[in-house]
Amino acid sequence: MKTSLVALVTALCLTPAALAAPAVAADKSGDGWPAFRALYEELVETNTQHSDGSCTLAAERMATRLKAAGYSDADLHLYAPADAPKDGLLVATLHGTDKTAKGILLLAHIDVVEARRSDWVRDPYTLIEEDGYFYGRGTTDDKAQAAIFVDTLIRYKQEGYTPRKSIKVALTCGEETEGVFNGARYLANERKDWIDADFAINEGASGELDASGKRVAMNIEAAQKVYQDFTLTATNSGGHSSRPRPDNAIYAMADALKKVQAYRFPVMLNDANRAYFTRTAKLKGGEIGAAMSAIVANPEDAAAEATLSNEPNLNATLRTTCVATLIDGGHAHNALPQSVTANVNCRIFPGVPVETVQAGLIAAINDPTVKVETDGHRSPATPTPKMPPEILGPIEKVSADIYPGVPVIPVMTLGATDSIHTSAAGIPSYGFRGMFVDPDGGNAHGLNERIQVQSVVDGRRLFYKLIKIYAGGK
């Protein structure tokens, strides 16, 4: 997942302390745990960072394991672009009996954020199990889910399970790095035939642990805001700094950014944040809980809006947000500035066109000398998401079994994942990690990334059951 606010904050806080992890209760031997652990270990220990790693090698290693379990070459698609031979991908399919059904896509990226050995306490590319935790780069983001998906296909094949709907696992590269080959985008645009499905499950929202390690909510991403950068450019004729004039490119930019800071996009509700506020209101209670219920009842409720807007996470769940993140300008100490540029990063509410946000910024700034343009990178438009019962129902059922008493909460995530490519290609995509991560996100993207062993044990049990419910058959 590209850096969301949480990851950014954690990355800055060096090595947040791990929670006291629960002793691993579940019997790890009965259901093939050793085979899973060996697969997970091989995946984590295959360096797949963009600078010097190889997703292609990781994909080939997973293909070897699937073949050993009985998958044929026809069931497996290994692909690497000629101009990026290390950025390869794998699509593996357990074919279903119902040829009219498109199937289920299980998407996971196998590339990881850079990790330097000298910065880490332990080797980032050795899977280390310590004090109830797995440590290593990608143990949370996103190799636990990738390993569970491959392991589940292997178990299904070994037990002779034949689904009604085909089950497709896509392991892709390029999710963590801008501007490189992105396997999910390639599959969505060039080889949709390999991955086409009725819906997709991808990384996104996770199970939430509180500061004491208590399991408080199992979140499912019902919607994802769209990442979009805008470039603001203020120009001026400049001149000698000994004769300053009221008009000045830096002042124009400063005024423009203050207006961006003050501007609030309208409150919007969709299936995702409506369900999130409704279910979380009960958990939260108090003023915040009351405001959550009020905003669902009446999106025009100004008092509820004010209460929720004061909390950054809730404010970002209510609306499109835009914020200045970079600025650059002026060309000499003794000259009036001629050009200043700033980057404004927006997280757009799903279904809202980029042009609408651009128009909102232009209206708020209201200064024709300040141009507002997209930075040439345009996120694909995403359809307004739905959270149908046939998706949510099975998750609630299995989650109640594996995580009794923990509510399932649809959320709108603020970070970006590869679901943006699959949903833009018409495959409704749900971000569901199915595993609990520490409040700091297991320090994904940061130092000493980790995940509780028990979380992986339970996540593996959950997906084994959940995918069978979705796929049917026997």
Span of 56-64, 139-147, 308-316, 408-416 interacting with Zn ion by CB under 5 A: 139-147
18: which DSSP letter?
A: P
Nearest to 251 by CA among 161, 179, 318, 330: 330
- Rank residues 230 and 430 by Cβ distance to Zn ion and give the closer one: 430
Shortest Cβ 191–Zn ion spacing (Å): 21
Tokens representing residue 405 in the block: 């008493």
Shortest Cβ 388–Zn ion spacing (Å): 25
Interface with Zn ion includes 438 (CB under 5 A)?
no
CA gap 128, 122 in Å, rounded: 8
- Rank residues 248 and 422 by Cβ distance to Zn ion and give the closer one: 422
Interface with Zn ion includes 141 (CB under 5 A)?
yes
Span of 134-142, 270-278, 279-287, 348-356 interacting with Zn ion by CB under 5 A: 134-142
Interface with Zn ion includes 142 (CB under 5 A)?
yes
Nearest residue (beta carbon) to Zn ion: 1
Nearest to 150 by CA among 91, 198, 199: 91
- State the pairing for strand pair 215-224/335-336: unpaired
Question: Among all chains, which residue has been given the structure tokens 């996770």?
Answer: 206
User: Could you tell me where the beta strands, DSSP code E, fall in 278-348?
Assistant: 321-329, 335-336, 339-348
Tokens representing residue 319 in the block: 């609306």
- Rank residues 18 and 437 by Cβ distance to Zn ion and give the closer one: 437
Show contacts with Zn ion in window 330-349 (CB under 5 A).
none
Shortest Cβ 446–Zn ion spacing (Å): 13
- Rank residues 87 and 142 by Cβ distance to Zn ion and give the closer one: 142
Shortest Cβ 200–Zn ion spacing (Å): 15
> b/e map of 368-394 (b: 16 or more CB within 10 Å)?
eebbbebeeeebeebeebebeeebbeb
Shortest Cβ 141–Zn ion spacing (Å): 4
- Rank residues 141 and 458 by Cβ distance to Zn ion and give the closer one: 141
- Rank residues 113 and 260 by Cβ distance to Zn ion and give the closer one: 113
3-state helix, strand, coil in the chain (%, to 5): 35, 25, 40
Show contacts with Zn ion in window 157-196 (CB under 5 A).
none
CA gap 166, 159 in Å, rounded: 16
Span of 43-51, 137-145, 317-325, 368-376 interacting with Zn ion by CB under 5 A: 137-145
CB 238 within 8 A of CB 338: yes
Shortest Cβ 143–Zn ion spacing (Å): 9
CA gap 458, 465 in Å, rounded: 11
Number of residues lying near Zn ion (CB under 5 A)? 3
Nearest to 347 by CA among 205, 262, 226: 226
Q: Which residues bind Zn ion (CB under 5 A)?
A: 1, 141-142
